[in-house]
Chains A and B, each alone.
Chain A
Amino acid sequence: MNPANPKGIRVDLQLIADMIEPGTRVLDVGCGNGQLLDYLWREKQVDGRGIEISTEGVQACVSTGLSVVQGDVETDIRDYPDDAFDYVILSQTLQAMREPREVLEQMMRIGKRAIVSLPNFAYWRLRLYIMFKGRMPVSDSLPYQWYDTPNIHFCTIRDFVRLVDEMGFKIDQSLFLDEEGTSRTMGKSIAMANFFGEQGVFLLSK
Chain B
Amino acid sequence: MSVDEAISQSVEKAYDPDNWTLPGERVCLAQNEPLRLDNGEELKNVHIAYQAWGTLNADKSNAILVCHALTGDQYMVDDHPITGKPGWWKQVVGPGKVIDTDRYFVVCSNILGGCLGSTGPQDINPQTGKEWGVDFPVITIGDMVRAQKLLIDHLGIKKLFAVVGGSMGGMQVLEWACRYPDNVFAAVPIATAARHSAQNIAFNEVGRQAIMSDPDWCSGDYHAHGKHPHRGLAVARMAAHITYLSETALTRKFGRNLQDRDDLSYGFDADFQVESYLRHQGSTFVDRFDANSYLYITRAMDYFDVASAAGGVLSNAFKDTPVRFLVMSFTSDWLYPTHDSREIVHALNAGMANVSFIEVESDKGHDAFLLDEPEFHKVFEGFLEGCAEHRGLQRKAS
Contacts and interface: CB of A to CB of B under 8 A. Distances in A.
Contact of A49 (B342, B354, B379, B390): B354
A84 interface: yes
A65 B355 contact: no
B352 A62 contact: no
Given A69-B356, A71-B357, A79-B349, A64 B386 contact: yes
A58 B383 CA distance: 11
B375 to A, nearest CB: 7
Contacts of A193: none
Interface string B382-393: 110111011000
B356 A62 contact: yes
Interface in A62-103: 62-71, 76, 79-81, 84
A185 interface: no
Interface string B353-393: 01111111100000000000001001101110111011000
B342 A55 contact: no
Given A65-B382, A69-B345, A80-B352, A58 B358 contact: yes
B36 interface: no
B327 to A, nearest CB: 8
Given A59-B375, A59-B379, A62-B382, A80 B349 contact: yes
Contacts of B193: none
A61 interface: yes
Interface SS majority for chain B: helix
Nearest to B349: A79
A70 B382 contact: no
A47 B356 CA distance: 13
Interface residues of A, number: 21
B346 interface: yes
Interface string B74-113: 0000000000000000000000000000000000000000
Contacts of A61: 356
Contacts of A58: 356-358, 379
Contact of B356 (A68, A76, A80, A84): A68
A62 B390 contact: no
B343 to A, nearest CB: 11
B179 interface: no
A59 B355 CA distance: 14
A202 B260 CA distance: 70
Contacts of A69: 345, 349, 355-357
Contact of B383 (A65, A76, A81): A65
Task: Identify the 5 closest CB pairs spanning chains A and B, nearest first.
Answer: A65-B386, A63-B382, A79-B349, A69-B357, A62-B356
Interface of B: 324, 326, 342, 345-346, 349-350, 352, 354-361, 375, 378-379, 381-383, 385-387, 389-390
15 contacts: A55-B361, A58-B356, A62-B356, A62-B383, A62-B386, A63-B385, A65-B387, A65-B389, A65-B390, A66-B386, A69-B356, A70-B357, A70-B359, A71-B357, A79-B350
